[in-house]
Every structure is written in C-alpha cells, then in structure tokens.
Structure 1
Amino acid sequence: MNIYKGFNENEISALEDIKNACICKKIKAYIIGGAVRDSILKVKTKDIDLCIEENPLSIIKSLKSLKDYVYYEKFQTATLYFNNNVNVDLIRCRKETYLQDGMLPIVEPATIVDDIYRRDFTVNALAYDIIEDEIIDIYEGINNINNKIIKSIHKNSYKEDCTRIFRAIKYSVRYDFKIVDDFIFEELIEKNILDTISVERYVKELYLICGEDKWVEMLRKCCKYGIIALDFNALGKNVLNSNQNEKFLNMIYCSKDKRLNKALIKNSFLNKELLNPIRKFVLNRKKVEEGLLKAQNNYDIYVVLKGMTKYELMLFSWNKNIEYKIHNYVNNIVKFHKVMGGEEIKKIIQSDGKIIGVIKENILRRNLNMLINFNYSTKNMGEILYDIEHKYR
C-alpha cells in the first residue's frame, strides 16, 4: 500500500530527500502514526512524523532541500524545515519505560517494533517503510481503521498515561470511531487517575480538544466519562469555531469542576495573555458578577470592569444577565473614560489637594453616564463643585 497518495507534491519531495539520504547511509526510515492513519482514511494529515533507527544528525547534513532544523538532544529528535515550506519531525526510534503511572517515561533508543509498541492506539501504531514501500501493522491497526475502532495497544496503556483517555475521546469524535475499551475509564477516574499527571498536561489536553472542529461534542463526551464537569447551557454559544482561545475560554466559563479550576490557577502551560485573565476570572468571578448585577449606571459598570483585558471581558460576556452591560462597556463606555488632567483643573479652580481627585471622579461620572467628552471651564466648573458639596460628600 503506497500511502504517498495522502501527501501533496511538496511533502513527497521532502520525504524523497529523506529517503535518498537514508538509502545512502543504509538506514531504515518509517513514516509513523497519524500520517499513516490519515492517509488510509483519505483525510489531510496535520503532521508528518518519520522514525529512523539512528540519531537524526546522521542524515540531516545529507538532505539537499533542507532549509533549517532544530535538534533536541534529550530525545534525539529534530524538526526539519524544507525550502518548499514543508516541516517534518524526524525521530529516533525509541522505547519508553514507565516507573510510575502518570510520570513521563524513561526513554532509550530502540527498534521500530519498540517504537510502535509505545504508541497510544492501534490505529496510530502503523509504520510505513518509505524504502521498501510497505506498511508494518503489528496490532491490526488497518483492520481497526476499517471497522472504525479506537483501541489501546495494551491493557495498562491508559493507566500508564491517562492523557490517552483525552486522545481516545478526541479521535473517536473526530473520525466517528467507537472506543472499545472505554469501560476502563470509569474505574480509573474513580481512582483519581487524573491526579497522576501534572496540571500542565491536564490543561494542555483540554486546550488541544478546544482546537478541534467538534470540540463541543468532545467535551460532552469528557463529561460523560466523568473527566470534567461542565454546564452545557452556554457551551459553544456565540463562539467563533476557528478561534481556539475563544473556545477554551468558553469551556472555562462553563466549568463546574473544582479540579479544573485549581489546575487553571496552578498551571504554566498557557501563555500569560490567556492565563492571567483566566486566573482572575476563577478567583474573582462571583465578586465581578455581583458587582455588575448591582451596577445602576455606566459609571458603576466602568468601576467594575476598568482595566480588564479582552479575554477577561469575554469570559464574563457569556453570562446572559450581564451580557448587555459588557457590550455597553466595550462599545460605548470606554470611549468616554478620559477626563481633564489635574493641572488643568488646578488652573480653573485655583486650588490644590484632595479636591482635584474628587473633581476628576465627578467629571468621569458625568461623562460616562451622559456618554459625552465634556471639557469644563471656569464658568461651568461650579456645577461640579455644587454636586460635590451637596450630592457626593
């Protein structure tokens, strides 16, 4: 079976370059995992992983069309960047040993058979020998693809690395496959198997799910198995399906899960632009929502929301009871939050001290509630001073 039918001309060109270099060095080379699976399914693959039974450095300098590469010494892997804009992950075949469930494995160089065994599911445990033009299928991966089945390689697979549960759900929904060994999930989750992995890996798997087209269905399935608890009322509502960050934030808003909320506060996987708003939301959600519900005017809304980033505002926008106030703040209120400087006010009232701050606050209150940018002079500053004396003291 020639799986090259699943690749475009540029990808085939890059793979041929690697193939020729391996032939010269008498090194066996295999396309591995998802690229083989997707080619059989006749869907476009996202990534090309290629295994060899030597250090990638042994062939990299022989590649004629290579533009650049990044080498990772610890696992002896490299990401190759070709002149035709194709990227390939070149991996040394390895085997993995788990000393403890949930821990990252100990890795050592091995054969393609060992590398296939370390894969998560039979449908991903396929290798294509690019030199001999043949598929290596030890665990009936092709048969399971044809029968639309997700099945782990061995009985301890989910226990060794419970992130495979997330991926089983992801693949089952993405390809409409049945997970035949999902009976294991309930037992493992009841034993708190998710506590064996770091919060970074836990959050990462959920973030990756939110990058999928069928993310809502995948999250619902996660809830079904007890992996996460979500309120479905707002899940997937008013979300751009192409925006992974927005989908992830929507999931956070819908969370009823204490483990997830704790993980979000502690994790360091997310970048700060996303992480900081999420942490503030988790910690201050009740206070902000109550403040907005009590807000009587634009100024009150401004006091609650001022300084919030777009992601913080987005998180609160899924609350139907305060949605219109968020909308009003973003589209109207923030346009009128700038007021006269302290020096200008001093010149007008010929005074200094705390009164300047009070005046600025009252000008801001008027501007926001009336939605105007009004500049005060000696003639009309009296209105502000009168208000301060009689209404806001």
Structure 2
Amino acid sequence: MDMYRIFNEGQINVLKDIKRACKEKKIKAYIIGGAVRDSILNVKSKDIDVCVEGDPLIIIKELKSLKDYVYYEKFQTSTIYFNNGVSVDLIRCRKETYLKDGMLPIVEPSSIKDDIYRRDFTVNALAYDIVDERIIDFYGGIDDINNKVIKSIHKNSYSEDCTRIFRAIKYSIRYGFEIEDDFVFNSLIGNNIFNTISFERYIKELYLICGEDKWIQMLKKCCMYGIIDLDCDMLGDSIQFSEQNINFLNMVYCSRDKILNRALVENSFLKKELLNPIRKFIVGRKELEHKLLNSKRNYDIYKVFNGMTKYELVLFSWNKELKYKVYNYTKNILNFKTVISGKEIKNLIERDGKIVGLIKEGILKRNVNMLMNFDYSTKNMGEILYDIEHKYR
C-alpha cells in the first residue's frame, strides 16, 4: 500500500525531511493514528501526527525545511511549521496511566507499542514506520477498517475517557461504520459517566462534532444514546450554513438539556465571541422572546435587537415566529436608523439640554417605523418638538 497517496506534494516533502533527520539520528519515527486510517480508506487526511521514540527537539534541530516550531517540554510534544506552509505535530511516544476515570492521565515517555495502546479505537491504533516503510497493527485495526467496525482497544477504554463515546459516534457516522461495543454506553451514561470530565472537554467534543459534514446525524445519534436532549426536528432547520459556529448555535437553540445548558454557560472552552451570546441567550431567552413576540412596530423590534452581535441574532433566527423580525431588522431597519447630530438639532430648534436627546430618539423612532430617512428642517423638527413637549406636559 502506498501510504503517501493521500498526501499532497508539500506534505510528502516534509515527511521526507523528517525521515532523513530520523535516519541520521537513528531515531524511530511513525505516522500515527488518523492519517494511517485515512490512507487505508483512501480519503484525504486533515492532520499529520508523527510519533518518535526520542525527544522531538533532536529531530527538529536537524530539519532543513523548518520555518518555526512550538515545543511543550512537559509532554515533549511539538507543532512544526515548514517553509512550504505544511504543519506537523511531532510528539514523543508515551504511555498513559489513568488513576481515576475521567481524570487526565499521567504521561511518561515510552515505546510505539505503549503509544498505540493509549489510542481510542483499533482503527486509530495504527502506525506507519517512515524509516522501514511498514504498517504496525497490534490490534487488528486494518481488519476492522475493512469490516467497517469501530471498536475500543480495551474494556475500560470508555470509562477511562468518556469523550471516546463522542468520537465513536463521530467516526461511525463519518465513515459509515458500526460501533461494535456500544452495548456499554447505556450503563455508563446511566451512571452519569460524563460527570467525570470537565465542562470544557464535554463542550469541546460537541463543538468538534458541529464541524463535521454530517453533524446533524451525529447529534441525533448522541440523542439516541441519551447523551444529550435536543429538539432534533429543529436541527438544520430554517438556516442552512456550513460554518461550525453556526451549526453549534443551532444545537444550542435546540437544547432541552439542563446539564448541557449549564455546561454551555459555565465552560471556558468557547471563545468569547461565541460564549457571550450563548450565555445571554440561555439566561435571558424567555424574556427576550416574550418582548420580541409583543413588538409590533419596527422601533420596538429595534430596541430589543439593537447592540446584539451576529451570533445573538442568529440564535433567534430559528424561532419561526421571530424569523421574519430578525430578517426585517438586519435587512431593513438597520438601513433607516440614521439621525442627525445633536449640534444640528440645536441649530434648528435653538434649544439645549435633555430635549435634544429626546428629539434624536423621536427622529430615530420615526425613521425606523416608516423605513425612511427624512430630511429634517426647522418646520418638521418643530412637529417632533411639539409631540415631545405635549407628551411630557
């Protein structure tokens, strides 16, 4: 099998450079995990992970096409950036020991055999020796790929790290495989296995799912197993995007799950541009939807939506009763909110103080409600002034 058939020319050149450096330093190196799986399936792989039986820094210093790198001394892992734009994760082979289910493992340098054992599934427990040019398969991963089966490497795999349940679902939908050992899911989920991990890891896996082409099917399967509770009929409804953040927001809108909602509000994994709109929506959803449903005029809609970010607006777009109001606000109302400056108002009415602010609000209200930008003169400014003075008399 031609291991390199899924890689482009730039990636192949980078791997040749790594191979040369490893041979010179007599260090064993392996392409590991997903890239080997994808090569067997003959599908393009997003990432290249290379495992070495030694300190990655020794190899990095010998690379001829190196541009830059980031090195993490604690785990002896690195991300390498090459002159041709390719990046590779170069990591030291390691052994992982779980002292408690859900806890991050204790890590120590080891061999390729131990590194393969720490992988999640047999189909990912494959390595390609880039020096000797051979595939290493200790756990029947090639047979499981050919038989279209997802299977954990050992019986405690899902309990040690329950995020593997998410990944089993992801791979099964992505590749059309069956999960052979999903019979353990019910008892683990029933015993609240996801309480053993942080909200950050929990939300990260759901976010990664929302970046997949078949994200809707994956989320529905999560619901089928009882991991999360969503209104699945609304997944992908009304708005069709391929953006990961939008897909994730769609999941947020569909959530009927108190634990998921808490994790969405309290996690620190999501970036603020996404996290803040989600927090506002989950906490204030009922009140805001009530206000919007009772907003009959354009200016009422404007007052509720004004200042909301793109993602806040998107969250309300899946509500069929509010969808038109979001569209009206973004496509119409925002084009007719121009107001003249306070200085110009002062010159027209020869007045100062609070009344100027009230006039500006009155102009904005008229423009937005009528979807017209008026050319204000002394005469029609006087009409607005009369209305305001009459109102506060």
TM-score under structure 2 length normalisation: 0.96
Contact 1:239/1:246, CA 8 A, preserved across alignment: no
Query: Does residue 88 in structure 1 map to residue 88 in structure 2?
Result: yes
Q: Say which SS state the counterpart of residue 367 (structure 1) adopts.
A: helix
**How far 1:241 sits from its partner (Å)?**
4.3
Cα distance in 2 between the residues matched to 1:188 and 1:392: 65
Aligned to 1:27: 27
How large is the RMSD of aligned CA atoms in angstroms? 1.5
Aligned to 2:208: 208
Moved over 6 A (4+): none
Contact 2:211/2:244, CA 8 A, preserved across alignment: yes
Cα distance in 1 between the residues matched to 2:165 and 2:203: 14
Aligned to 2:247: 247
**How far 1:359 sits from its partner (Å)?**
2.1
**How far 1:15 sits from its partner (Å)?**
1.1
Query: Does residue 217 in structure 1 map to residue 217 in structure 2?
Result: yes
Q: C-alpha deviations, 1:344-393, integer Å up to 9, x for none?
A: 33333333343333222222111111112224332222321332244576
Cα distance in 1 between the residues matched to 2:392 and 2:151: 69
Aligned to 1:54: 54
Q: Any residues of structure 2 matched to 1:344-359 within 5 Å, and which?
A: 344-359=344-359
Structure 1 stretch 152-161 or stretch 342-351: which is displaced more? 342-351
Aligned to 2:6: 6
Aligned to 2:334: 334
Cα distance in 1 between the residues matched to 2:392 and 2:321: 29
Cα distance in 2 between the residues matched to 1:389 and 1:85: 66
Q: Say which SS state the counterpart of residue 68 (structure 2) adopts.
A: strand
Q: Any residues of structure 2 matched to 1:164-243 within 5 Å, and which?
A: 164-243=164-243
Aligned to 2:75: 75
Structure 1 stretch 60-69 or stretch 205-214: which is displaced more? 60-69
Cα distance in 2 between the residues matched to 1:238 and 1:45: 31
Contact 2:119/2:153, CA 8 A, preserved across alignment: yes
Q: Any residues of structure 2 matched to 1:254-333 within 5 Å, and which?
A: 254-333=254-333
Cα distance in 2 between the residues matched to 1:369 and 1:307: 18
Amino acid corresponding to residue 315 of structure 2 in structure 1: L
TM-score under structure 1 length normalisation: 0.96
Amino acid corresponding to residue 328 of structure 2 in structure 1: N
Contact 2:239/2:318, CA 8 A, preserved across alignment: no
Cα distance in 2 between the residues matched to 1:345 and 1:5: 70
Structure 1 stretch 19-28 or stretch 116-125: which is displaced more? 19-28
Q: C-alpha deviations, 1:196-250, integer Å up to 9, x for none?
A: 1111111111110011000000000000011111112321124444311111111
Cα distance in 2 between the residues matched to 1:259 and 1:392: 49
Q: Say which SS state the counterpart of residue 236 (structure 1) adopts.
A: coil
**How far 1:135 sits from its partner (Å)?**
1.2
**How far 1:10 sits from its partner (Å)?**
2.1
Instruction: Give me the identity figure in percent.
Output: 71
Cα distance in 1 between the residues matched to 2:77 and 2:242: 30
Cα distance in 2 between the residues matched to 1:296 and 1:236: 28
Structure 1 stretch 366-375 or stretch 217-226: which is displaced more? 366-375
Structure 1 stretch 169-178 or stretch 181-190: which is displaced more? 181-190
Give the length in aligned residue pairs: 393
Q: C-alpha deviations, 1:39-70, integer Å up to 9, x for none?
A: 00111111111111101011111111222211
> Aligned pair in 2 of structure 1 residues 149, 72: CA closer, same or farther (>3 Å)?
same
Contact 1:49/1:91, CA 8 A, preserved across alignment: yes
Aligned to 1:112: 112
Aligned to 2:133: 133
Structure 1 stretch 175-184 or stretch 383-392: which is displaced more? 383-392
Aligned to 2:121: 121
> Aligned pair in 2 of structure 1 residues 207, 303: CA closer, same or farther (>3 Å)?
same
Cα distance in 2 between the residues matched to 1:160 and 1:99: 9
**How far 1:89 sits from its partner (Å)?**
0.9
Contact 1:340/1:375, CA 8 A, preserved across alignment: no
**How far 1:11 sits from its partner (Å)?**
1.7
Q: Say which SS state the counterpart of residue 379 (structure 1) adopts.
A: helix
**How far 1:85 sits from its partner (Å)?**
2.0
Cα distance in 2 between the residues matched to 1:182 and 1:174: 16
> Aligned pair in 2 of structure 1 residues 287, 250: CA closer, same or farther (>3 Å)?
same
Structure 1 residue ranges without an equivalent (≥5): none
Aligned to 2:157: 157
Q: Say which SS state the counterpart of residue 79 (structure 1) adopts.
A: strand
Cα distance in 2 between the residues matched to 1:168 and 1:112: 23
Aligned to 2:366: 366
